[in-house]
Chains A and B, each alone.
Chain A
Amino acid sequence: MAETGLRIKGLRASVEGNEILKGIDLVVEPGSVHALMGPNGSGKSTLAFSLTGHPSYLVTAGSASLDGEDLLALAPDKRAKAGLFLSFQYPSAIPGVAVGNFLRSARQALHPGDLPPAKFRKMIYEKLDVLEMDASFLPRYVNDGFSGGEKKRLEMLQLAMLAPKYAILDETDSGLDVDALEAVGATVNALRASEEGERTGYLIITHYPRILKYIKADKVHIMLDGAIVTSGGPELADVIERDGYDHIREEVAGGVA
């Protein structure tokens, strides 16, 4: 049997000819929560886009597999079908496409024929409740004219509806007030407690440690300048909160010297 987990080995990637990722090694096991922390510009989002196959991000070396399947050989939709989900930091608007229809198309694409319409509706309403959203969301056009908080809630609604094997949450917490942050935490925790989502592994990309108060991380990795410089348990997030990234940067520089 193939190795399980979202396995990233020696991953290098560039954007418009500039190398951003300089060799990333990371394994997210099924059912685990990994936090990837780092200051702006450290390459966190590049990792998310490289793994999901954004056409502007060129992987130049290394590998990435999902439960044994080579992700890098697949088109973005095939990566989603393999079980990878990305909660976007800046989700795209798709004017004219209703949220409800979009969710149905996505669910159908990723879990073909598994939910008759009545069950699908029931599921949507349950997930909306967890997110403290109401049904008036469903006929609105995807992210069109949404506030920042609404966009993030829709990302979480999709996460809950699609129940992927591995989910990357790219700065889902940025710009959110406490209520919205709690709703994000509730969604992830409800999914983790469900039969469909108990084995989902998470890579939570964040600048600030506060989201980790709502979603408990098993491991924390610190990324600086396109490389993971240190990893540890949840206590590492507390260090960041207390001392900031500069402390880590100095420590790393000191170690090299």
Chain B
Amino acid sequence: MVSLSEPGSRSAVHGVSKAALDALIATHGEGAIPAQMRYDALARFEELPVRQVIRGGRTWRQDLSKLDLSEIDVLDTLYADAVSGGLTARGVIVTDFDTAKAQFPEEFARAFGAAVDTRDDKFASLALAFQHGGTFVWIPDGVQAEEPIEICYEPSGAAFPYTLVAVGSGASATILERITSDERASFLCGIGEIVLGEHASLRYTIDQSAGPASRAILTRRAALGKDATLTLALAELGGEHVVERIRVVQREHGGNVEITAFFFANGDQHVDLETEVVHAAGATRSGTLVRSAGTGRGQGRYLGNIKILKAAHGADATLRDDALLLSQEAHVDSIPALEIAANDVKAYHGATVGAISEDEIFYAQTRGLSRPDAERMIALGFFEPAIARFPGEALRERLRAALVAKLDL
């Protein structure tokens, strides 16, 4: 499937106002999201405050100072491409989000909104209000979709894609989502929704390699059925200012979540990453591994949260995040937290923030590596435990190459 949204007639209305939403609906129709739902979402976006979290006496606020939405054109086009890998014969649906509701109303209705609630979220509300484009993936019960499904987004200008993935009971799938863009300024505000049935298994990999003038605010939510498995890997490489928030809720017994994420803020890049795993049922397991680093004037924040609710007997959660600072001007905040309301659980978290150790550099130097080579090798090694959890040597090599390019800038 290739869908190129029709070239938008450049609208006279800029920004994210009601007039802009009127223009979007007048041009494209309401699409998969009813008009009233869009207007309600826009109203929430305007009312809700910028997210703020207070941890241990420190205030963690989304820094949106660089974000000026007054000039964006909501009628801009999004290039989206999804490759289903010949799976459609087995009932797998991979299609454009806007047409999914019309062509597959039953499947769409079952999946849409099962994991995402935009009511309390400013930017998820914005994404819902102006949604245009995106992808719908449906894996029927019992289907093992071995071939990877690839989703590619390339915004030019403003884009509001909705990515909805549903994996049925006992089904499995592998999805690779790639975000790229050229040198021009772009704004991507999207929602990713993942719904897993009983015993479903999904490996979802995200390679965010947007261009250097790209801004992105992405809200991702996943809901797991009983004994479902979600393996999520996120490489946050591109963009000028990126906010990515991931929340996984385990409401049913026996689910298993593995989250791996890394970012490397270089130049003037600014990355805000948030992961949250909610254990709301017994015998649920999660493991979160995050590596974040900054060089140049790069700014990064990682906010990691594990919530174990009272009903989550026997839950097992780990959160490990390490941050590396490679320059004086870089800044990385790493704020992990565990909230535990149940007694009989296993929970661990560990975090470190620091520069490369002089002892490691010296050790490598005594083996003949110059100081810059030693630092480079150690910095790459810092990311390796995260990279090792990405699927496929070709992808891992691409990620390593992207990190090397950032180190060498």
Minimum distance in angstroms from B404 CB to a CB of chain A:
14
Give complex CA distance A86, B367 in Å: 9
Minimum distance in angstroms from A135 CB to a CB of chain B:
18
Give complex CA distance A233, B124 in Å: 79
Indicate which residue in B357, B369, B380, B383 contacts A77 across the interface (CB closer than 8 Å): B369
A123 at the interface (CB under 8 A from B): no
B109 at the interface (CB under 8 A from A): no
Give complex CA distance A102, B371 in Å: 15
A35 at the interface (CB under 8 A from B): no
Indicate which residue in A56, A76, A97 contacts B366 across the interface (CB closer than 8 Å): A76
Chain B minimum-CB-distance residue to A81: B368
Contact across chains for B362 and A106 when beta carbons are under 8 A apart: no
Contact across chains for A106 and B385 when beta carbons are under 8 A apart: no
The residue in A52, A75, A105, A162 that gathers the most chain B C-beta atoms within 10 A of its C-beta is: A105
> Using a CB–CB distance below 8 Å, which chain A residues touch chain B?
52-56, 75-77, 79-81, 84-86, 88, 91-97, 102, 105-106, 109-110, 141, 158, 162
**Which positions 351-409 of chain B face chain A at CB distance < 8 Å?**
357-360, 362-371, 373-374, 377-378, 380-385
A residues less than 8 Å from B357 (CB atoms): 92
The residue in B378, B381, B382 that gathers the most chain A C-beta atoms within 10 A of its C-beta is: B381
Contact across chains for B365 and A94 when beta carbons are under 8 A apart: no
Give complex CA distance A110, B368 in Å: 6
Contact across chains for B369 and A105 when beta carbons are under 8 A apart: yes
Could you list some 14 contacts between A and B, CB below 8 A? A55-B362, A77-B365, A80-B367, A84-B366, A91-B363, A92-B359, A92-B360, A94-B363, A94-B381, A96-B384, A96-B385, A105-B373, A110-B368, A162-B367
B residues less than 8 Å from A92 (CB atoms): 357, 359-360, 362-363
Give complex CA distance A94, B369 in Å: 13
Give complex CA distance A92, B381 in Å: 14
Minimum distance in angstroms from B373 CB to a CB of chain A:
8
Give complex CA distance A96, B356 in Å: 13
B residues less than 8 Å from A86 (CB atoms): 366
Contact across chains for A97 and B378 when beta carbons are under 8 A apart: yes
Contact across chains for A141 and B381 when beta carbons are under 8 A apart: yes
Known: A53-B365, A92-B362. 18 other contacts (CB 8 A): A55-B362, A75-B371, A76-B365, A77-B368, A77-B370, A84-B366, A85-B366, A92-B359, A95-B381, A95-B385, A96-B378, A96-B385, A105-B373, A106-B368, A109-B370, A110-B367, A110-B368, A162-B368
A residues less than 8 Å from B369 (CB atoms): 77, 105-106, 109
Minimum distance in angstroms from A66 CB to a CB of chain B:
14
B residues less than 8 Å from A91 (CB atoms): 363
Give complex CA distance A55, B358 in Å: 8
Contact across chains for B380 and A76 when beta carbons are under 8 A apart: no
Contact across chains for A97 and B381 when beta carbons are under 8 A apart: yes
Give complex CA distance A54, B370 in Å: 14
User: Interface size class for chain B?
Assistant: 20 to 34
Give complex CA distance A77, B361 in Å: 10
Chain A minimum-CB-distance residue to B367: A106
Minimum distance in angstroms from B384 CB to a CB of chain A:
3
Give complex CA distance A106, B364 in Å: 8
Give complex CA distance A92, B370 in Å: 17
Give complex CA distance A158, B360 in Å: 16
Give complex CA distance A91, B360 in Å: 9
Minimum distance in angstroms from A240 CB to a CB of chain B:
28
Indicate which residue in A75, A88, A110, A141 contacts B363 across the interface (CB closer than 8 Å): A88
A residues less than 8 Å from B364 (CB atoms): 94, 102
Minimum distance in angstroms from B44 CB to a CB of chain A:
43
B residues less than 8 Å from A81 (CB atoms): 368
B residues less than 8 Å from A96 (CB atoms): 378, 380-385
Chain A minimum-CB-distance residue to B322: A95
Contact across chains for B368 and A94 when beta carbons are under 8 A apart: no
B residues less than 8 Å from A102 (CB atoms): 364, 367, 377
Minimum distance in angstroms from B264 CB to a CB of chain A:
13
**Which positions 129-182 of chain B face chain A at CB distance < 8 Å?**
none
B residues less than 8 Å from A53 (CB atoms): 362, 365
Chain B minimum-CB-distance residue to A92: B363
A residues less than 8 Å from B368 (CB atoms): 77, 80-81, 106, 109-110, 162
Contact across chains for A80 and B365 when beta carbons are under 8 A apart: yes
B residues less than 8 Å from A56 (CB atoms): 358
Minimum distance in angstroms from B403 CB to a CB of chain A:
11
Chain B minimum-CB-distance residue to A76: B365
B residues less than 8 Å from A106 (CB atoms): 367-369
A residues less than 8 Å from B381 (CB atoms): 94-97, 141
Contact across chains for A109 and B367 when beta carbons are under 8 A apart: yes
Minimum distance in angstroms from A3 CB to a CB of chain B:
24
Give complex CA distance A84, B385 in Å: 32
Minimum distance in angstroms from A172 CB to a CB of chain B:
14
B residues less than 8 Å from A110 (CB atoms): 367-368
